[in-house]
Structure 1
Amino acid sequence: MKKGTLNIKKWFLVGITAIAASAASGVGVAAGQQDFTLVNKTGYTIDEVYVSPSSNANDWLNDVLGQDVLGDGENAKIVFSSQNEICKYDLKVVYDDKEEVEWTDIDLCKEEKITIHWNKKTGETSATFD
């Protein structure tokens, strides 16, 4: 597993009712305060993204990308139900080589953008939060 480090501007993650597929397809979904944009600046393709309330870290929900992948330089808008009141989430990304990185206890009610980076020299993945 690649080690996830927090170069924190702020915390991030997604949620139980994240509906990335609906947002991408243009289906109307009421936005939640946890909505954020995930940006891939790793140099690699991200195959899967999981978000779970922080208290359920070992119980990952469905891949919020669905059938899609997040290529290097691409971004995905992660949308939550407006009825969801949970703010603290854990995030896991899975690269196309099946390596995984996790971040915990991210307050998505305060974050709008999470950018994931990979440092070739250290071999570590980090995230910045805006």
Structure 2
Amino acid sequence: MRFVSIAVAVTFLASAGIAQAQSKQDFRLTNKTGYTIDKVFVAPSKSNDWEEDILGRDVLENGAWVNITFPKKNQVCSYDVKVVYDDSTPAEWHNFNLCEISKISIFYSHSEDKTWAEYE
């Protein structure tokens, strides 16, 4: 299994009443793999460094989602995402155009041993 992580501020929204100024790169990452994700990294595609796990001490349980936000002044659109499952298995995706994507869902098929991402 593979996931990508990015070093940005993560906002867990507990209620719909919380409003924030949005960057065009902000997106929602949803875990639909059937497994717990221990780490998430998001980095510009041109970067050689994943930087820090954006979940910190938290995890992303199956069925859960997290909003990933960027500074409003950010101009970069192409990002890579990496996730690491709680069994230390990584998965990566490259070149998401976050200026056009607002949701990324990740999936895993145990029978095919395949991980993939769908986005909108």
- Note the aligned Cα RMSD (angstroms): 2.2
Residue-pair matches, total: 117
Amino acid at match of 1:41: K
The structure richer in strand per residue is 2
CA distance in 2, matches of 1:55, 1:93: 18
SS at match of 2:12: helix
- TM-score normalised by L of structure 1: 0.81
Residue in structure 1 matching 2:83, options 85, 88, 93? 93
Which ranges of 4 or more aligned residues in structure 1 deviate by more than 3 Å? Answer: 13-16, 25-30
Q: Which amino acid is the alignment partner of residue 106 of structure 1?
A: F
Cα displacement (A) at 1:127:
0.6
Report percent identity of matched pairs.
41
Indicate yes or no: 2:109 matched with 1:122. Answer: no
Q: In structure 1, list runs of 5 or more residues that go unmatched.
A: 5-12
Unaligned runs of 5+ in 2: none
Tell me how far apart the structure 2 counterparts of residues 88 and 41 of structure 1 sit (CA, whole Å).
23
Task: Map 1:43-58 to 2 at 5 A.
Answer: 43-56=34-47, 58=48
Moved more, 35-44 or 59-68: 59-68
In structure 1, the partner of 2:12 is 24
Contact 2:6–2:40 (8 Å) recurs in 1: no
